[in-house]
């Protein structure tokens, strides 16, 4: 199956018999609360941590990690590409940003990339390269980058009955590109959602991931301003939203070269979103 939750469910069922199945759990099953047990930074979990579903089984929403004294921060990068932007890419517009990925590698900064399926179709080698590097994790930013709610920054709106299929189509695109373990995390295009959208995705088993720090990097040309905004906003457990598309976020790579050393100087450790979610969910492994 193409989506992680199903893969986990199958793995789980195959590996268990009888009553043991009950302990195996389904995707999105509430995790036992074990506050105070930090997750390992480098462990590759067989099943990524997710938050328990919200009221009425709605898709849970994650915004930031615990505000604990140890300073962790997750840099996240949206790989935007709208379904109808293929012609622009063919005409030479760059929706990718290999230099930014190289900079993260140079600094050895783990990061989470929220990738659209359309982007993976356009840049399969880069998608695979990111997806196979343990320094990064690939999460889902929809296939089409249409909004999952009306009135969202001018994005076309995804009909409710197409939402689930669009998210699953993105996972299929990642698999086709060679991304081995896309995470069960979903970022709404534009960050726009409502109860209808959370309900529409509840069967997919993803945790929706928002942010608490807006970098302001979209269409920004002043790298210093982006860096300043991030540095002023970050607190322990923060999730920073940025973009890894050259055309829509031309200053981001340069801003990182200020942000990363400065946050390290302040004692911050960079982590992937999965680590923050694992800690928020109270898992330890
Ligand atoms: Zn986006």
CATH code (residue 58):
3.20.20.370
Q: Tell me, yes or no, whether 30 lies in a domain.
A: no
Is a pLDDT exceeding 70 seen at residue 241? yes
Indicate the helix (H) or strand (E) that contains 140: strand 136-140
- Residue 26 covered by a domain: no
266, 269, 258, 220: which is closest to 103 by C-alpha?
258
CA–centroid distance for 88 within its chain: 25
Strand 213-214 and strand 207-209: pairing? unpaired
Q: 231: CA distance to ligand 1 center in Å?
A: 22
Domain count of the fold of the chain: 1
* Separation of CA 189 and ligand 1 centre (Å): 5
Position 104 in a domain? yes
Position 36 in a domain: no
pLDDT digit string, tens, across residues 129-159: 999 999 999 999 999 999 999 999 999 999 9
Query: Does residue 19 form part of some domain?
Result: no
Mean pLDDT of 158-181: 98
- Look at residue 38 and tell me if it is in a domain: no
Q: Cα(278) to centroid of ligand 1, in Å?
A: 24
User: What's the DSSP call for residue 126?
Assistant: H
Instruction: Kindly give the distance from the C-alpha atom of residue 80 to the centroid of ligand 1, in angstroms, as a whole number.
Output: 5
Q: How many CA atoms lie within 13 A of 241 on its CB side?
A: 21
Tell which residue, 13, 6, 46, 1, has the closest CA to residue 28: 6
Cα(1) to centroid(ligand 1), Å:
25
- DSSP string covering 211-226, please? -SEE---TT---HHHH
Q: How far is the CA of 37 from the centre of ligand 1 (A)?
A: 32
Q: What is the pLDDT of residues 175-194, one digit of tens each?
A: 999 999 999 999 999 999 99
Task: Tell me, in angstroms, the distance from the centre of ligand 1 to residue 39's CA.
Answer: 28
CA distance 275 to 237: 10
Tokens of 154: 């001018």
Tell me, yes or no, whether 214 lies in a domain.
yes
Distance from the CA of 242 to the center of ligand 1, in angstroms? 9
Q: Model confidence over 81-110: pLDDT tens digits?
A: 998 999 999 999 999 999 999 999 999 999
**190 Cα to the center of ligand 1, angstroms:** 5
Within 15-159, where are the H helices?
Answer: 20-24, 86-90, 98-107, 117-122, 124-131
Range scoring the smallest mean pLDDT among 41-50, 162-171, 195-204: 41-50
pLDDT band at residue 67 using 50, 70 and 90 as cut-offs: very high
Q: Which domain holds residue 172?
A: 4-8+49-280
Q: Which of 282, 246, 245, 233 is nearest to 74 (CA)?
A: 233
């Amino acid at each position: 199956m193409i989506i992680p939750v199903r893969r986990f469910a199958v793995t789980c069922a195959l590996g268990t018999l009888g009553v043991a199945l009950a302990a195996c759990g389904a995707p999105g099953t509430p995790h036992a609360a074990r506050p105070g047990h930090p997750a390992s930074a480098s462990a590759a979990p067989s099943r990524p941590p997710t938050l328990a579903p919200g009221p009425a089984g709605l898709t849970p929403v994650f915004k930031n990690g615990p505000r604990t004294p140890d300073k962790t921060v997750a840099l996240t990068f949206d790989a935007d590409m709208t379904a109808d932007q293929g012609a622009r890419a063919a005409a030479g517009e760059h929706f990718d940003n290999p230099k930014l990925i190289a900079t993260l590698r140079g600094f050895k900064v783990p990061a989470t990339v929220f990738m659209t399926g359309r982007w993976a179709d356009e840049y399969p080698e880069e998608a695979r390269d990111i997806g196979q590097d343990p320094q990064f994790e690939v999460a889902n930013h929809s296939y089409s980058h249409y909004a999952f709610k009306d009135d969202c920054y001018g994005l076309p709106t995804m009909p409710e009955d197409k939402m689930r299929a669009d998210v699953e189509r993105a996972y299929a695109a990642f698999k086709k590109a060679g991304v081995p373990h896309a995470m069960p995390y979903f970022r709404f295009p534009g960050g726009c959602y409502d109860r209808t959208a959370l309900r529409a995705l509840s069967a997919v088993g993803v945790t929706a991931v928002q942010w608490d720090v807006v970098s302001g990097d979209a269409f920004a040309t002043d790298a210093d301003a982006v860096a300043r905004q991030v540095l002023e906003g970050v607190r322990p457990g923060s999730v920073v939203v940025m973009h890894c598309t050259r055309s829509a976020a031309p200053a981001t790579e340069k801003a990182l070269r200020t942000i990363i050393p400065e946050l390290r100087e302040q004692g911050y450790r960079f982590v992937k979103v999965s680590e923050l979610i694992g800690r928020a969910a109270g898992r330890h492994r």
